[in-house]
Amino acid sequence: MNPASVSPASEHEPRNRSRPVWRGTGAVAEPDLERATDGARILLEALGIDLENESLARTPERMAASLVELISPRPFQMTTFPNDGGYDELIVARSIPVRSLCEHHMLPFVGTAHIGYLPGERILGLSKLARVLEHFSSRPQVQERLTVQVANWLDAQLGPVGVGVVIEAEHLCMTLRGVQAPGTTTITSSLLGVLRDDSRTRAEFLALTHSQR
């Protein structure tokens, strides 16, 4: 994983900010797969799991590799273009798949994200909206922080008129354990600039995301 492949929000000062900027990326260090495998083996044995069983013998290795995959985003290069056509309406990408690890229980949460912005002088390559989401979700997270990180990063990089992020996700730490409420989803939002301050623009964005908020 190469956190330096994208610029953290702290390197830029966003315009028209309505909330304090979140500083830093929170990305994890380079994983040590061999040590993680040893740790997984110790954990499983401590839970009473018989790793001598043929079907379980390589489970620590697979378990460690799976977790590494979940916390290792693919590097990408930020691609923006001049807004030569003077486009001044919302750009929204809906239903982007999102998955991350709850940092409190290390169980996944999965769902969809709706990300949009009202452009200023620059527009963004559309695939980068999903890549930014992947970058910040590929680490131990809480949904509230993830939502704010994506919005702040886009605000800092693009200097748009407004940014909106809505995430709806199911948390396995809530549906498989604890209260055990399967099917429950959590919705979080982060709105910046005119999407926060102007009620009509905010309503338009939320209608485009089909959010009931």
Catalytic site residue 30?
no
Q: 44 and 130: one domain? A: no
Residue 131: CATH number of its domain: 3.30.1130.10
Q: 44 and 110: one domain? A: no
Q: 143 and 46: one domain? A: no
Total of domains in the chain: 2
CA angle at residue 31 from 28 to 146, to 5 degrees? Answer: 25
pTM, to two decimals? 0.82
Catalytic residue among 102, 114, 141, 168: 102
CA-wise closest residue to 204 among 195, 213, 212: 195
Catalytic residue among 141, 143, 149, 157: 143
Catalytic residue among 34, 104, 121, 210: 104
Q: 49 and 130: one domain? A: no
Catalytic site residue 102?
yes
Q: 40 and 96: one domain? A: no
For 197, the domain range is 77-208
Q: Where are the beta strands (DSSP E) in 48-200?
A: 80-82, 91-102, 108-118, 122-124, 140-141, 162-171, 186-193
**pLDDT of amino acid 72:** 87
**pLDDT of amino acid 14:** 40
Asked if 115 contacts 164 with a C-beta cutoff of 8 angstroms, the reply is yes
Q: pLDDT means per 10 residues in the chain (213 residues)?
A: 41 39 56 94 96 94 94 84 94 96 92 96 92 94 96 94 97 80 88 96 92 48
Catalytic site residue 170?
no
Q: Is residue 177 part of a domain?
A: yes
Asked if 136 contacts 153 with a C-beta cutoff of 8 angstroms, the reply is yes
Catalytic residue among 135, 149, 171, 204: 171
How far is C-alpha 41 from the chain's CA centre? 29
